Structure 1
Amino acid sequence: MRAVQIAQYAADLSRATAFYTDLFGAGPVASFDPPGLVFFDLDGQRLLLDGGAPPALHYYQVDDLDAVVARLRAAGAVIESEPHVIFTHQDDTLGPAGTEEVHAFTRDTENNLVGLIEFRPL
């Protein structure tokens, strides 16, 4: 079994679409209006922006967390938590062995919390 889709609340689809296009570096793959749905493809998993969806906390892996946080901050995003080490991976159970898992949190334009993760080699 694998997750296929995350539904994320978005009161203003245009504003939220711009935020996630900037975050992912790619625009949506489909939009339907009405009823007001925007889909992004994340390597086979869909992010659905929908005014009728509940808020969700989701995490995205990035290659350079400091650069992403700086880019989001420059674009006016609220950074809730600066990059910080969560734990070190001794084995491959939850992430690559021999890395530190570093998290930061931001708010999207709809006030949803978004987690960003980088696996940094020790």
Structure 2
Amino acid sequence: MHIVQVAQHADDLDRAAAFYTQLLDEEPAARFTSPDLLFFNLGATRLLLQPDAPSTVVYLLVDDVAHAVAAARDRGVEIVDDPHVIYTHVDDSLGPVDTDEWQAFIRDSEGNTVGLVSHEPRHDP
């Protein structure tokens, strides 16, 4: 079993399409009217943006959280929480063993919080 789709609130689908196209470096997979629906493919999972969906926190895996946040900041995106290590994986139960999990949070064009996550080689202090 795996997650097929995550829905996220978006008042303005044009604005959301522009935001997520830049963030994901990917064009929308589909867009419908009546009802208003905007889809992006994220691997085997679809991100659905629609006016009637509730706000949720979506966590996106990126190659490098610090780089992704810097690029977002350069585009004027609100940074909710700067990159920081939240966990060191000592086994592979939640992520790759011997990596640090970095997270940061940004605000999307519709006011939703989006988590950015990367796994990086563990850095001993």
TM-score range with shorter-chain normalisation? over 0.9
In structure 1, give the amino acid aligned to 2:62.
Answer: V
**Offset from partner CA, 1:25-77 (integer Å, 9 cap, x none):** 00111000122100000011000000010001110110011111011111111
> Using the alignment, how far apart are the partners of 1:64 and 1:120 within structure 2?
8
| Secondary structure class of the residue paired with 2:70 | helix
**Offset from partner CA, 1:90-114 (integer Å, 9 cap, x none):** 0000000000001000000111000
In structure 2, give the amino acid aligned to 1:64.
Answer: D
2:47 equivalent in structure 1 = 47
In structure 1, give the amino acid aligned to 2:121.
Answer: P
* Residue 64 of structure 2 is aligned to residue 64 of structure 1: yes
Report the number of matched residues.
122
In structure 2, give the amino acid aligned to 1:15.
Answer: R
1:4 equivalent in structure 2 = 4
> Using the alignment, how far apart are the partners of 1:12 and 1:97 within structure 2?
40
Structure 2 runs not aligned, ≥5 long? none
* Residue 16 of structure 2 is aligned to residue 16 of structure 1: yes
| Secondary structure class of the residue paired with 1:14 | helix
**With structure 1 as the length reference, what TM-score do the two structures score?**
0.98
> Using the alignment, how far apart are the partners of 2:21 and 2:84 within structure 1?
25
> Using the alignment, how far apart are the partners of 1:24 and 1:35 within structure 2?
24
Identity %: 50
Q: RMSD value over aligned CA atoms?
A: 0.7
Structure 1 runs not aligned, ≥5 long? none
1:1-122 equivalences under 5 Å are 1-122=1-122
In structure 2, give the amino acid aligned to 1:96.
Answer: P
**With structure 2 as the length reference, what TM-score do the two structures score?**
0.95
> Using the alignment, how far apart are the partners of 1:41 and 1:63 within structure 2?
17
Runs of 4+, deviation exceeding 4 Å: none
> Using the alignment, how far apart are the partners of 2:102 and 2:111 within structure 1?
22
